Amino acid sequence: MYRSILAAAAAAVVLAGASGAAMAQEKLKIGFIYVGPVGDHGWSYQHDQGRKAIEKEFGSRVETTFVESVSETDAERPIEQLVRTGHKLIFTTSFGFMNPTVKVAKKYPDVRFEHATGYLREKNLATYAAKFHEGRYIIGQIAGKMTKSNVIGYVGAYPIPEVIAGINSYFLGAQSVNPNVKIKIVWANTWFDPGKESDAAKALLDQGVDIIAQHTDSPAPLQTAEQRGKLGFGQASDMERFAPKAQLTAIIDDWSGYYVSRVRAALDGKWESIDTWGGLDTGMVVMAPYKNMPDDVKKLAQDTEAAIKSGALNPFKCPVLGQDGKEIECKGGKSLSDEQILSMNFYVKGIEDKVPQ
Amino acid sequence: MTLAEAVLLTVITASTPLLIAAIGELLAERAGVLNLGVEGMMAVGAACAFAAAVSLDSTLGGFVAGAGAGMALSLVFAFAVLGVAANQVASGLALTILGLGLSGVIGAPFVGARRDPIAHLSLPGLTDLPFIGRPLFGQDPIVYLSFALAAAMAWFLFRTRGGLTLRAIGEDHASAHALGLPVLKARFLAILFGGACAGLAGAYLSLVYTRFWSPGMTGGRGWIALALVVFAAWRPGRALAGAYLFGLATVLQLHAQAGAIRLPSQLLSAMPYLVTILALVILAARDRRSTGAPASLGIPFVPDR
């Protein structure tokens, strides 16, 4: 009796193992962790468009799941949950998910992870990001040309390198066409809170800013600019419908191509832990149509976009001066190295503010 | 427009939803019911208000729908805590989770839609007065309603027989019941009123504050309203002061940043919470009378027949 139970159990285990393997061959389960809601019209929305592109491309060969509005301080649990429910490729799509992702990745070496905008990699953890700062240089030039008060504003989420590099690139772009321009920066200390983002934009506008750029995820700051008859830029996604009169352009993140290529690699058994940093040239960063501006500004923006795409122009071309006016060491030859940009924690010359520590 | 005036206008918009939600919760708690579902009712109110306003092309319709939706959701809570005397903390938390989830479903088809701004009061002569004109005579109707609500609440609680009854029920429901006071009925009405207020506060978020809807847009304001009630020692006047202090600190810290004040932005972001808690705690500490929570707050009542 005892023996036959054991045998049955053993058979069951073998069967389960076999069917598990067969299942894995049939379907790759892919999980996504988003920091905001899918309906934020911005950052998380764009990642979800990428997820949908995967489903469209691979159909029944894959199964995708997403968990939205995951707190950066409590990400380990939902990531691990995805692992336990059989997901073999997991994308975590916010900088703050870095440490939790590394932790879970170390625990489950047979699961592949991809973390957006971070810098820590493992054998089974790849990283990817987009060179948003390329787009920010273009919108900086537009802002520099379009501002009447010579004071431009920036709503930031958190003082992390990704955002700081964006502010610097934006300001360098503005300075390149308007030496008198000044910038005011407000930190919302949240990625997504439409009310607070809107208050931040109002504070900037009330202090004489007439063009708002944002590095938070909802259309609220842009919409506030529209309401006040001022100008602004869409973030992560084309936000024109929220501010048809105010949106000059938008920096759109297009993750579809990258996600599809990574899933293909995983399905073909060619997935490796790599670091990808795509920009305007690879189509990971796309500019929305240039609107609400005179033709000469539009032409300037288009020329700059083309120059960055072809590699002729780098927003962080040397010399880059720090706030104290001293030249930043040029580790990338003609421009700052990727490493320097990805770990940027200083403002460039002309920004009269301090990086919050 | 001077900077101070601009700040004041932003503060009013930021404080109004907090005030409305806090007044509603204050009545429920005075009746002895702790409803932790404010955030959820607010979220559903925001979604329903926006959906109705877009579908009916009526902002007023939106506000009515928002308040109605908050009230409808509070019915679920009322059934749980009054009907079957369930634990109020657990039921309230469940209501928040339910509300946040529901709001996502209700609002999904309306993602990306937008509404025109709400009409503001305009009195020739008065609205154009320097400095006080816009803040006093140029607001949207909900702002005036929020002040009226706070005043009416103070009058009701401390100047009417109904208010006395409600407070007695919140202090000691067993004695109140023994005296023949309608404990369950009063609590039922107080819960519904709290729900309507939370829904209205949510409607203000999606129709006035940002004028678009997105999931999770309440951003924890329901919890702030709950905290305000406690720190305001269950007094409407102090709830009003607390809501505006919080709004003021929120907006001022953003201005401080834009003005490049050399303080860490993380500390500035925490300011509204610190300032509000500190001010209301000092007030409460100076108060010689009971600071107190209604004695029956959070305790289920089962009438012994």
Chain A interface, best mutation among B111, B251, B265, B273, by max A CB count within 10 A:
B265
User: Angle of helix B236-258 relative to helix B265-286, nearest 10 degrees?
Assistant: 160
Task: Indicate the SS3 state at residue B185.
Answer: helix
- Residue percentage of chain B with pLDDT more than 90: 63
Q: Which of B17-31, B231-245, B279-293 has the lowest mean pLDDT?
A: B279-293
- The span from the CA of A308 to the CA of A138, in Å, is 9
Mean pLDDT of A154-171: 94
Arithmetic mean of pLDDT over chain A: 90
pLDDT in tens, B93-105: 999 999 999 998 9
Strand pairing category for A247-253 and A285-287: antiparallel
Contacts with A37 from chain B: Cβ below 8 Å: 104, 214-216
* Cα distance between residue A143 and residue A70, in whole Å: 33
pLDDT tens, position by position, B10-35: 999 999 999 999 999 999 999 999 99
Angle in degrees, CA A288, A291, A297, rounded to 5: 105
Sort strands A211-215 and A182-187 into parallel, antiparallel or unpaired. unpaired
CB B3 within 8 A of CB A207: yes
Question: What does the pLDDT look like over B256-266, one tens digit per residue?
Answer: 888 767 677 77
Residue B285 in contact with partner chain A when CB distance is under 8 A = no
Q: Do B265 and A200 touch (CB under 8 A)?
A: no
Domain ranges of chain B: 3-111+124-286
| Cβ neighbours of B4 in A, within 8 Å | none
What kind and span of H or E run contains A213? strand A211-215
Contact A190 B219 (CB under 8 A): yes
Beta bridge partners, A252, equal: A236, A286
The reply to whether A281 touches chain B by the CB within 8 Å rule is no
- Distance in angstroms (rounded) separating the CA atoms of residues B204 and B191: 20
The β-bridge partners of A62 are: A28
What confidence category does residue A91 fall into, taking pLDDT thresholds of 50, 70 and 90?
very high
Q: Is A192:B218 a contact under the CB 8 Å cutoff?
A: no
User: Range with the lowest mean pLDDT among A323-327, B108-112, B151-155?
Assistant: B108-112
Q: Which residues of B touch A69 (CB under 8 A)?
A: 215-216
Residue A26 banded pLDDT, cuts 50, 70, 90: low
Asked whether the predicted pLDDT for residue A326 surpasses 60, the reply is yes
Among residues B17, B269, B284, which one has the least CA distance to residue B149?
A: B17
Residue B221 distance to chain A (closest CA, Å): 10
**What residue of A is the nearest CA neighbor of B207?**
A195
At B137 the pLDDT is 84
Q: Is the pLDDT of residue A289 over 70?
A: yes
Which of B20-24, B190-194, B259-263, B272-276 is the least confident region? B259-263
Candidates B252, B227, B256; CA nearest to B242 is B227
**Strands across the sheet containing A231-236:** A182-187, A151-156, A211-215, A231-236, A247-253, A285-287
- CB atoms inside a 10 Å sphere around CB A284: 23
Alpha helices in chain A (DSSP H): 2-26, 43-58, 76-84, 98-107, 132-146, 161-177, 194-206, 220-227, 256-267, 295-310, 338-342
Query: What DSSP line would sit under B110-123, residue for residue?
Result: GTT---PPPP----
Q: What are the structure tokens assigned to A136, written together?
A: 């920010």
Measured between beta carbons, which residues in chain A are less than 8 angstroms from residue B225?
Answer: none
pLDDT surpassing 70 at residue A6: no
Percent of chain A whose pLDDT exceeds 70: 92
Structure tokens at B162: 């109904």
Nearest to B237 by CA among B36, B22, B35: B22
Give the chain B residue nearest A355 (alpha carbons). Answer: B264
pLDDT of residue B305: 55
Per CB-CB distance under 8 Å, the chain B contacts of A149 are: none
- By Cβ distance, the residue of A37, A159, A353 closest to B216 is A37
- Dist CA B38 CA B19 (whole Å): 12
Q: Which of B2, B11, B210, B263 to mutate to test the interface with A (most CBs of A within 10 A)?
A: B210
pLDDT band at A262 (very low <50, low <70, confident <90, very high): very high
Of A40, A193, A203, the CB nearest to B254: A203
More confident call, B208 vs B305:
B208
Mutate to test the interface with B, among A48, A68, A186, A211 (most CBs of B within 10 A): A186
Please state, as a whole number, how many other Cβ atoms lie within 10 Å of the Cβ of residue B267. Answer: 11
Q: How far is the C-alpha of A222 from the C-alpha of B117, rounded, in Å?
A: 15
Q: How far apart are the C-alpha atoms of B47 and B65, rounded to whole Å?
A: 9
Give the model confidence (pLDDT) of B211-228 as tens digits.
888 888 898 999 999 999
Using the beta-carbon criterion (under 8 Å), do B210 and A198 form an inter-chain contact? yes
Q: How many CB atoms lie within 10 A of CB B287?
A: 13
Q: What is the average pLDDT across A248-270?
A: 95
Structure tokens at B97: 């989770």
Kind of pairing between the strands at A247-253 and A231-236? parallel
pLDDT score, position A42: 81
- pLDDT value for B278: 83
Give kind and range of the element (H or E) at residue B45: helix B38-56
For residue A17, name the pLDDT band (cuts at 50, 70, 90): very low
CB A196 within 8 Å of CB B17:
no
Assess whether pLDDT exceeds 70 at residue A214.
yes
Contact B114 A206 (CB under 8 A): no
Residue (of A320, A143, A322) closest to A233 by Cα position:
A143
pLDDT in the model for residue A16: 44
Task: Quote the percentage of chain A above a pLDDT of 90.
Answer: 80
Q: What is the pLDDT of residue B62?
A: 95
Query: Are A57 and A102 spatial neighbours (Cβ–Cβ below 8 Å)?
Result: no
* Structure-block tokens of residue B105: 């479903």
- Residues from chain B that touch A41, judged by Cβ atoms under 8 A, are 111-112, 212, 214
Paired sense of beta strands A211-215 and A151-156, if any: parallel
**Mean pLDDT in residue range A235-244:** 90
Q: Spell out which residues of chain B touch residue A230, defining contact as CB-CB under 8 Å.
A: none
Taking only residues 195 to 234 of chain B, the set having a beta carbon closer than 8 angstroms to any beta carbon of chain A reads: 205, 209-212, 214-217, 219-221
CA of A222: which chain B residue's CA is closest? B210
Cβ contacts of B258 on chain A, cutoff 8 Å? 153, 184-186, 203-204, 207, 209
pLDDT for B262 equals 67
* Chain A residues within an 8 Å CB radius of B10: 199, 202-203, 206
Q: To the nearest whole angstrom, how far is the Cα of A187 from the nearest Cα of chain B?
A: 6
Does A187 contact B269 at a Cβ distance shorter than 8 Å?
Answer: yes
Residue A14 pLDDT > 50? no
ipTM here: 0.84
Q: Which among A128-137, B113-122, B135-144 has the top mean pLDDT?
A: A128-137
Q: How far is CA B129 from CA A300, A325, A341, B3, B6, in A?
A: 44, 47, 51, 15, 14
Q: Hey, what amino acid is at B165?
A: T
- Which position has the higher pLDDT, A72 or B187? B187
Check if A135 contacts B (Cβ < 8 Å). Answer: no
- The continuous run of DSSP H or E covering B164 comes out as helix B161-171
Distances in Å between the alpha carbon of A53 and those of A254, A258, A281?
11, 10, 20
pLDDT tens string B56-98:
999 999 999 999 999 999 999 999 999 999 999 999 999 999 9
CA distances from B26 to A37, A141, B44, B154, B164 (A): 31, 51, 20, 10, 15
Lookup: tokens for A260: 């599809």
> If you count residue pairs, one on A and one on B, with CB atoms under 8 Å apart, how many are there?
114
Q: Which residue of B has its CA nearest to A225?
A: B210
B182 Cβ partners below 8 Å, 6+ apart? none
What average pLDDT does range B203-216 have in this prediction? 90
SS3 label, residue B147: helix
Considering only CB atoms, which chain B residues are within 8 Å of A234? none
Determine, for residues A185 and B257 on separate chains, whether the beta-carbon distance falls below 8 Å.
Answer: yes
Q: What is the mean pLDDT of residues A152-179?
A: 95
User: A116-125, A316-325, B273-282 — which is least confidently predicted?
Assistant: B273-282
B81–chain A nearest CA distance, Å: 29
The single-letter code of the amino acid at A325 is G
In terms of CATH architecture, what is B3-111+124-286? Orthogonal Bundle (1.10)
Mean pLDDT for A293-315 is: 96
Using an 8 Å CB-CB cutoff, list chain A residues near B269.
187, 189
Shortest CA distance from B111: residue in chain A = A39
Looking at chain B, which residue has its C-alpha nearest residue A201? B254
